[in-house]
Structure 1
Amino acid sequence: MTTQHTAIEWTDRTWNPVTGCTKVSPGCDNCYAETIARRFAGAKAFPNGFDVTLHEDRVDQPYRWKKLARVFVNSMSDLFHQDVPDLFITRIFDVMEANPQHTFQVLTKRHARMRSFVQQREALKREYAAKFDDCPTEAMRNSPAAKWARARAANPPANIWLGVSVENQKWADIRIPALLETPAAVRFLSCEPLLGPIDLFAGDHSTHERDFDGTDDYICLDCSTSDRHIPWRVIDRTNLGIDWVIVGGESGHGARAVHPDWVRSLRNQTVAAGVPFFFKQWGEWGPAPFIVRVCDPKVGWQGTEEELVAAKADSEARGATHVHTGHSQKKDGERSYWLHEIGHKPWSLERVGLPDGMAAIRRWGKKRAGRELDGRTWDEFPQAVSA
């Protein structure tokens, strides 16, 4: 876990100059990094288990990488954890800036500290560059050092992408504004594990009753049944301020389910706003066939008994049994997905249909659930790349 190629779909490799962390919000509850660190506690990679640990020997690793890569920084920790000194974070940023051939993806749940650190860092760059304007000679004012300082101060580094984790609306409302105030070439969201519906435009735009006119200037924020009273919001494509959105369901033991409509809503919002969308995974839970046409309910089965048994077995093999449905419920200001198992076989349920707002899902396991959303994969990345 020091630095390696990784199975994480949206990056190429990981770099962990810090390991260990502490929980700050519901998205942390089933932390994969904690599980790995506890399992290998005492080993070289995790000498202190999941306690926050600085690894001095890993700081300079990017200088030795020959192959260009997208690099997830601190996949086993949080760079902006309160136990990581400012000086250590500064060294990490210095190394990232000094290796513009790589793209570094920094993801945090400590939005406030990232904002203040990066704002201060960029301000210091501008102050340093301004000092050259006061130099007594033109040669000094136009020296290579002066030009380098001004170029460095002009814009945040193109190869450093900064993001925050947002698992539901509560944390989106808290972390996204802080991210928007953080200087960065690319700002991104990781909505994984997605634990509730998220409106990326909440509070920023006026609400309209349904008057969809066939253009994509409007977007449905409640992808449930068509007979419900659904609000639509005008989207200002120029004001989102987010350059990339990653979405994924939770995997592993005790994984919480994601409502398929929460994923579709985020996909729809990003597409309408022209923002690249990356769907990482359904996780343990994924959509399941609910209505399986074994026969015409009005006519009944017209084949043989053996053919009926085969048709039912085929529908079960395609995931039509052990199907769960659920409503999202709100508790302590946060939404979760309440599950229950359907007590009918799918060939009888085709006569019943699902209640409003419910979706059929099944615990497939991460691999079988896969990454397809509405018949395709979504692997979009921001346009900005490292030098």
Structure 2
Amino acid sequence: MSVSWNPWHGCRKISEGCRHCYVYRQDALHERDSREVVRTAAFGLPVRRSRAGRFRIPPGERVYTCFTSDFLVEEADGWRAEAWEMMRLRRDLEFFFITKRIGRLREQLPPDWGDGYENVTVGCTVENQTAADLRLPLFLETPLRHRVIVCAPLLERIDLTPWLGPAVGEVSAGGESGNDARPCDFAWVLALRGQCAAAGVPFTFHQTGARFVKEGRLYRIRREHQHAQARKAGIDYRPER
């Protein structure tokens, strides 16, 4: 089971992968400025209790954290310590967030972090080779118990070979959604899978994107079918233990 927790909303675009951000698209429908970072009404969700005294999020859930912002966005620096504390208190939940600001993570970690909280997984997003070369060395230098590399939106062929190994729990790849989506080529996805298989790192193809290229042909795939079509490809990789 899983639940979404967005303690703050809004972000600033910082790289090519942000160009057609889905949060900006959704906010535009409501004439909302996505650049304004605000603390949300859901901020304290992980520790809220029902009238019966039970946590509203039951133990064992995976909590997708800050998916309408970036957990490390600078405007949220004043709220992050309290968010970490909720993660620490709810060690019976699995928190997962992704970030393009991985270079800020080490300086933002809580004092008792050590090698990482066992219940927190961090994903570093890389959309092209430039982002991979910049972010992944910092990602691997940061103390974490669980880390994944998220190649999304995948905008070109990427070589992850220098950074694949036991410290990486998984690589996930997906194309870009939306009317203005840039193409994602299946050959790029297969190249990532091959790199992961060679290194013994699990791989997941989670989304085709809206414009998907296979063997030179462009396919336009509706949003509701993008995850299913990726699963249908049957290329996810799990190494034998």
Of 61, 64, 73, the residue aligned with 2:45 is 61
Name the residue aligned to 2:97. 106
1:16-37 per-position Cα deviation (integer Å, ceiling 9, x unaligned): 1110001000100110011112
Tell me the distance in 2 between the aligned counterparts of 1:39 and 1:74.
20
Name the residue aligned to 1:77. 69
Whether 2:220 is the aligned partner of 1:363: answer yes
Pairwise CA RMSD: 2.6
1:267-286 per-position Cα deviation (integer Å, ceiling 9, x unaligned): 11112222121211111123
Name the residue aligned to 2:12. 22
Whether 2:181 is the aligned partner of 1:255: answer yes
The answer on whether the counterparts of 2:3 and 2:61 sit within 8 Å (CA) in structure 1 is yes
Of 169, 188, 213, the residue aligned with 1:243 is 169
- Which stretches in structure 1 are left out of the alignment for 5+ residues? 1-10, 43-47, 126-151, 205-236, 291-358
Does the C-alpha gap of structure 1 residues 380 and 37 become closer, same or farther in structure 2, counting only changes over 3 Å?
Answer: farther
Deviates most, 253-262 or 66-75: 66-75
The answer on whether the counterparts of 2:127 and 2:156 sit within 8 Å (CA) in structure 1 is yes
One-letter code aligned to 1:84: A
Radius of gyration: which is bigger? Answer: 1
The answer on whether the counterparts of 2:11 and 2:34 sit within 8 Å (CA) in structure 1 is no
The answer on whether the counterparts of 2:206 and 2:231 sit within 8 Å (CA) in structure 1 is no
The answer on whether the counterparts of 1:20 and 1:52 sit within 8 Å (CA) in structure 2 is yes
One-letter code aligned to 1:91: E
Name the residue aligned to 2:193. 267
Does the C-alpha gap of structure 1 residues 265 and 69 become closer, same or farther in structure 2, counting only changes over 3 Å?
Answer: same
One-letter code aligned to 2:118: A
Tell me the distance in 2 between the aligned counterparts of 1:76 and 1:94.
20
The answer on whether the counterparts of 2:121 and 2:148 sit within 8 Å (CA) in structure 1 is yes
Does the C-alpha gap of structure 1 residues 271 and 379 become closer, same or farther in structure 2, counting only changes over 3 Å?
Answer: closer
Shift of 1:200: 0.9
Does the C-alpha gap of structure 1 residues 379 and 251 become closer, same or farther in structure 2, counting only changes over 3 Å?
Answer: farther
Tell me the distance in 2 between the aligned counterparts of 1:252 and 1:375.
21
TM-score (normalizing by structure 1)? 0.55
1:342-364 per-position Cα deviation (integer Å, ceiling 9, x unaligned): xxxxxxxxxxxxxxxxx323223
Tell me the distance in 2 between the aligned counterparts of 1:266 and 1:374.
17
TM-score (normalizing by structure 2)? 0.85
Count of matched residue pairs: 231
The answer on whether the counterparts of 2:213 and 2:219 sit within 8 Å (CA) in structure 1 is yes
